[in-house]
Amino acid sequence: MEKLVVKEGCIGCGICVGENPDYFEFGDNGLSHVVKEEVDPKDKERLLNSVEQCPAEVIVIEEEKIA
Ligand code: SF4
């Protein structure tokens, strides 16, 4: 499966939360974190939009190896 990650360095612009509120949420610190890690293949395109648009370039989709 593929796993959605927000790395350190989010500046709280809100693009990802606005586009994909089912995957991203703001924390009390005003920064985004992931609420649903597992990437559903049907959602990947809109998630990649957020990856590309994030001004801090801190969103990544990782391939998670299952042993
Ligand atoms: S798009 Fe990037 S900088 Fe903006 S809130 Fe989301 S993770 Fe943070």
CATH of the domain at 6: 3.30.70.20
Domain with 16 in it = 2-63
Pocket test for ligand 1, best of 17, 46, 54 (most atoms within 8 A of CB): 54
Quick check: 33 and 6 in contact, CB under 8 A? yes
3-state secondary structure string, the chain? CEEEEECCCCCCCCHHHHHCCCCEEECCCCCEEECCCECCHHHHHHHHHHHHHCCCCCEEEEECCCC
Integer Cα distance of 18 and 25 in angstroms: 9
Task: Look at the chain and report how many structural domains it folds into.
Answer: 1
User: Measured in angstroms, how far is the CA atom of residue 34 from the centroid of ligand 1?
Assistant: 11
- Nearest in space to 6 (alpha carbons), one of 19, 18, 26: 26
Per-residue pLDDT of the chain (67 residues; tens, 9 = 90+): 999 999 999 999 999 999 999 999 999 999 999 999 999 999 999 999 999 999 999 999 999 876 6
User: Measured in angstroms, how far is the CA atom of residue 2 from the centroid of ligand 1?
Assistant: 19
